[in-house]
Amino acid sequence: MSDNGPIPGGFLEGAEEEAGRYLTTVDGWRHFLCEEPPAPALLSAKEYAQLSPSEKELDEENRLDHHARLLVVATSTVRHTVTCGRRLVLLNRHAISARRGLIVSGPAGTGKTIAITQLGRSHELLDRARHPGRAERIPVVYITVPPAATARMVAAEFARFLGLPVRRPWNITDIIEAVVGVCTDARTGLVLVDELHNISLTTRHGAEVADTLKYFSERIPATFVYAGINIEQTTLLSGTRGAQIAGRFTLLPTHPFPYSTEWKGLVAALENTLVLRKHTPGTLAILDRYLHERTGGMIGALSHQIRGAAIDAILSGTEKITRRSLAAVPLDFTAESSSPAVPRGGQ
Ligand SMILES: Nc1ncnc2c1ncn2[C@@H]1O[C@H](COP(=O)(O)OP(=O)(O)O)[C@@H](O)[C@H]1O
Ligand SMILES: [Mg+2]
């Protein structure tokens, strides 16, 4: 796919599990928006032979670092989330009530977090272009719902992102007022709430969290985007409370990839990012069906396999990825257990 290429600067820092936590402060979020250094150059055998031992070490170190980073590919999930999110932001611009929102929902590891953070990235970069030099603006807020969250905990997550100290005597109303005040002044236009499946409407705490989010969405003049695992199968969209959410939110489902043109494009896009001295371009593209069977169409497992094999290739000096070296990278448990059930037709 032609528009399946890497997104410039769309890198997340090395450890992906870290990234979620890391993004949930305004400083971490701003760091995520910075342009990353360009990919290291691929030296010819002759150029490489001329390097001193310490230069060789540095070259290796740079390339290990490059493959450890996550390159974000403009998958259909990313593109749909960005398009739909931006459309809602525009439609909501003049709404004084009943703003509409977006829910990105699907199995774990299908790229929900990546998609909503890319939407946030595009929103914030656009806001900066429109209002240059206005560092006091916080166009995007990103929070995750902690497991077994109470309403106060969720309100405190907003405060934490904004860098507001939550003082012990503050009750939840104090926190909410402070957050709403800062978001309004800082012109927050997009609020991303991740890990929404941690809310269960059948518990009192869960219902209070949902009410708090609803209250935030009424008080902060922003578009709200939720992401979580199989939200439509949880209690979140049922009952009176759920119906209010269901009526105002567009649902964008995410899936494992079927074996399709998009999958092939994804493998090719990831292969194009490799900086290995003896890798024959197109080797992975030929192995796309094998990679699909092995990863169950899970993009996270695919990225882990390819980047893992690239790191092994540098450390072992083979400098290329083969079917055998891919097989040597252990899969995560989900990909291991989900591969037989993957749809092979259209999405
Ligand atoms: N657009 C993308 N480009 C590259 N890798 C991706 C992309 N989307 C997801 N991934 C990979 O899949 C992993 C899981 O994605 P994530 O967004 O965390 O899934 P979810 O939030 O649905 O559990 C990421 O850590 C990354 O390795
Ligand atoms: Mg996630």
pLDDT tens for 170-198 read 899 999 999 999 999 999 999 999 999 99
Predicted local confidence at residue 16, as pLDDT: 45
Closest CA to 8 of 28, 42, 37: 37
Q: Is the CB of 144 under 6 A from ligand 1?
A: no
- CA dihedral sign of residues 70, 81, 190, 89: positive
How far apart, in whole angstroms, are the C-alpha atoms of residue 124 and residue 128?
A: 6
Token readout for 150 is 């109470």
Predicted local confidence at residue 8, as pLDDT: 45
Token readout for 140 is 């995007």
Contact 291, 308 (CB under 8 A): no
Contact 196, 103 (CB under 8 A): yes
Predicted local confidence at residue 335, as pLDDT: 55
The closest ligand to the CA of 254 turns out to be 1
The burial of 135, by beta-carbon neighbours within 10 Å (0-12 exposed, 13-18 middle, 19 or more buried), is given as exposed
Longest distance between any two alpha carbons in the chain, whole Å: 71
Predicted local confidence at residue 244, as pLDDT: 77
Q: Is the CB of 109 under 6 A from ligand 1?
A: yes
Which residues have C-beta within 8 Å of that of residue 140, sequence separation ≥ 6? 29, 120, 123, 124, 188, 189, 190, 191, 192
The burial of 43, by beta-carbon neighbours within 10 Å (0-12 exposed, 13-18 middle, 19 or more buried), is given as middle
User: Which domains, ranges and CATH numbers included, belong to the chain?
Assistant: 2-14+34-74+258-339 (no CATH), 76-253 (3.40.50.300)
**Angle, alpha carbons 127-132-137 (nearest 5°):** 55
Point out the ligand 1 atom lying closest to the alpha carbon of residue 114: 17
The closest ligand to the CA of 105 turns out to be 1
Point out the ligand 1 atom lying closest to the alpha carbon of residue 108: 23
Predicted local confidence at residue 292, as pLDDT: 97
Token readout for 113 is 């977090």
Predicted local confidence at residue 205, as pLDDT: 86
Predicted local confidence at residue 70, as pLDDT: 82
How far apart, in whole angstroms, are the C-alpha atoms of residue 65 and residue 307?
A: 10
Q: Is the CB of 110 under 6 A from ligand 1?
A: yes
Predicted local confidence at residue 264, as pLDDT: 97
Q: Cα(195) to centroid of ligand 1, in Å?
A: 14
The runs of H, that is alpha helices, within the chain are 16-23, 26-33, 45-49, 53-68, 76-92, 112-130, 151-162, 172-185, 204-219, 239-248, 261-272, 283-286, 288-295, 299-316, 323-327, 333-338
Closest CA to 174 of 157, 156, 161, 192: 156
* Cβ < 5 A residues, ion ligand 2: 113
Residue whose CA is at the smallest distance from ligand 1 atom 15: 111
The closest ligand to the CA of 70 turns out to be 1
Ligand 1 pocket mutation pick from 79, 299, 329 by most atoms within 8 angstroms of CB: 299
How far apart, in whole angstroms, are the C-alpha atoms of residue 74 and residue 299?
A: 12
Predicted local confidence at residue 7, as pLDDT: 54
Q: Is the CB of 332 under 6 A from ligand 1?
A: no
Predicted local confidence at residue 11, as pLDDT: 43
Q: Cα(78) to centroid of ligand 1, in Å?
A: 10
Predicted local confidence at residue 177, as pLDDT: 96
Predicted local confidence at residue 336, as pLDDT: 54
- Type of residue at 10: G
Point out the ligand 1 atom lying closest to the alpha carbon of residue 111: 17
Predicted local confidence at residue 340, as pLDDT: 43
The owner of tokens 């166009």 is 139
Q: Which residues of the chain have pLDDT under 50?
A: 1-3, 5, 8-20, 339-347
Predicted local confidence at residue 234, as pLDDT: 80
Q: Is the CB of 24 under 6 A from ligand 1?
A: no
